[in-house]
Amino acid sequence: MDVWVIILFVVVVLHFIAGFGYLMYKLSPKKKDDSANNDKLDQSQSDPK
């Protein structure tokens, strides 16, 4: 095989790997900061309305 064909093949394969990695990153569930939410809940429960 020609050198340019091998280089093109490697670039395409790396592009697919990077694309799948980015897709997994975007589709992974987000981790929420529970401490910030708990502080807001604690303040609202302690304030009488």
- pLDDT tens sequence across 15-30: 999 999 999 999 998 8
d(CA 25, CA 35): 24
- Whether residue 2 lies inside any domain: the answer is yes
* H or E stretch covering 36: helix 34-46
Sequence letter at residue 41: L
pTM, two decimals, is: 0.54
The pLDDT of residue 36 is above 60: no
pLDDT confidence of residue 31: 78
- Whether residue 48 lies inside any domain: the answer is no
Query: What total number of domains does the chain contain?
Result: 1
- Whether residue 41 lies inside any domain: the answer is no
pLDDT confidence of residue 28: 93
pLDDT confidence of residue 21: 97
Q: Measuring CA to CA, which residue among 43, 25, 41, 21 is closest to residue 33?
A: 41
The pLDDT of residue 46 is above 90: no
- Whether residue 40 lies inside any domain: the answer is no
Range of the domain at 10: 1-30
- Whether residue 44 lies inside any domain: the answer is no
- Whether residue 38 lies inside any domain: the answer is no
